[in-house]
Structure 1
Amino acid sequence: MGITERRQREKEELKALILDTATRQFSTLGYSKTTIRSIAKEIEYSPRTIYLYFKDKDALLYEISVKAFTLFKKEFESVLSIKKPIDRLKQLNQRYVKFAIEHPAYYDLMFILNEPMQSDQTESGWDIGMSAHQILLDIITDCIKDGYFKNMNAEAVAFSIWSYVHGMVSLKIRNRMKMYPEENRLTLLKESSEIMHEILTMTKT
């Protein structure tokens, strides 16, 4: 590997370290308490170094959000080859839970963080998230065409399902399941998702 390639790799590794550290601090400390200085201190670089990569912490949060929503959308896209809409919906719910459990810090920033970024890129930055939601909405629409959710509004059904699953994983991510033994918590999420799906299948006319 030549000097140019090595320097490029080092830059990419440092950028990844900055993003990983920022993700963790945003999730644990909150947006307002996370600063460029606190990130720099943790990775043992000067704040000036971070500014070579990102103009401010909004730019950091924006890039993290794009990466997170891109992974999230890929999980959703993985169910599109399933033939039956109701089976597609079941798998989508499972993929949602899987993503949240495997990427709790990302999920926290995407759907729980109470202090959204103020970057001028914010509006366009949610395009990926909106397209992921559209996948859910399209599946619900297909379920309606297949006889489920009779006389129900597709957006209301999609929002209801999203709220249910979001509530479950948020309780897990924010450690609000302490009344249940730790070894049972993931099983509870899985079984609760299956219960919801059983209820949904009852809506077919």
Structure 2
Amino acid sequence: MGIKERRDIEKAEMKKKIKDAAIELIEQEGYEKLSIRKIAAKIEYSPTTIYLYYKDKAEIITDMSSDLYHKIESNTAAIMSDDSMLSIDQRVHSLLNGFVTSLCDEPEMAKAIMYSETNVIFANENKNNKPSNSGIDMLDNFLADGIAQKVLKPNAINTSWMIISALLGFAMCAIENQLYKLEDFDRLVNDFVEVLMGGIRQ
């Protein structure tokens, strides 16, 4: 292993330490009381060291959100690859199911991001007066395909941001109440997604 690779690994490990400490502190004290100084004390480094990696606490949350968003995207890609033979409504069902599962696989991080009230996990831009990001746009495209195939209702067009809002609400309720630890949690997720699908399926 070369010097650059070793430095990249060390940097990734340090950033993970910082994010893990931030998650713990947000859980204990809330985002408002989070500070670089407190994070530094928790991992026993100087604040100056933390500033080598992040300029402020908002950047730490943005990095966490990016981690979680990439995980969701990766899981979505895996779902689409595995389920390519499914009908469009079955694929949308799998996508929605995977979204909730991805969030609940990282409950502490999801809570920390939501508690920060930075909204980056939902949508980081606005388009045509509605929340938007690449995930929402991708789901909109799937819904449009389903409508074209007469599998989904015409009024499902451009409703992805509403669907994602509902999924986020369900996931955060499941995380807050530790429902994700239940043996039949997969069934609960499936039932909830079926309720949503009932509103858009022909």
1:1-205 maps to which residues of 2 (within 5 A)?
9-81=9-81, 82-83=84-85, 84-110=87-113, 112-116=114-118, 126=124, 130-156=133-159, 158-175=160-177, 183=182, 186-187=185-186, 189-193=188-192, 195-196=194-195, 199-200=198-199, 203-204=201-202
Amino acid across the alignment from 2:157 = A
1:56: how far off?
1.6
**Unmatched runs of 5 consecutive residues or more in structure 2:** 126-131
Identity across the alignment (%):
27
CA offsets, 1:44-75, max 9 Å, x none?
Answer: 11212111222221222222222221222222
1:98: how far off?
1.3
1:143: how far off?
1.1
CA contact (8 A) 2:15 2:53 kept: yes
1:92: how far off?
0.4
**1:39–1:185 Cα change, 3 Å:** farther
Deviates more, 1:70-79 or 1:93-102: 70-79
Amino acid across the alignment from 1:126 = N
Distance, in Å, in 2 between the alignment partners of 1:8 and 1:198 is: 43
**1:195–1:80 Cα change, 3 Å:** closer
**1:176–1:70 Cα change, 3 Å:** closer
**1:2–1:90 Cα change, 3 Å:** closer
**1:187–1:48 Cα change, 3 Å:** same
Counterpart secondary structure, 2:102:
helix
**1:114–1:13 Cα change, 3 Å:** closer
Aligned residues: 190
Distance, in Å, in 2 between the alignment partners of 1:142 and 1:160 is: 18
Q: Which has the larger radius of gyration?
A: 1
Coordinate RMSD, CA, aligned: 3.1
Amino acid across the alignment from 1:196 = V
Distance, in Å, in 1 between the alignment partners of 2:54 and 2:169 is: 33
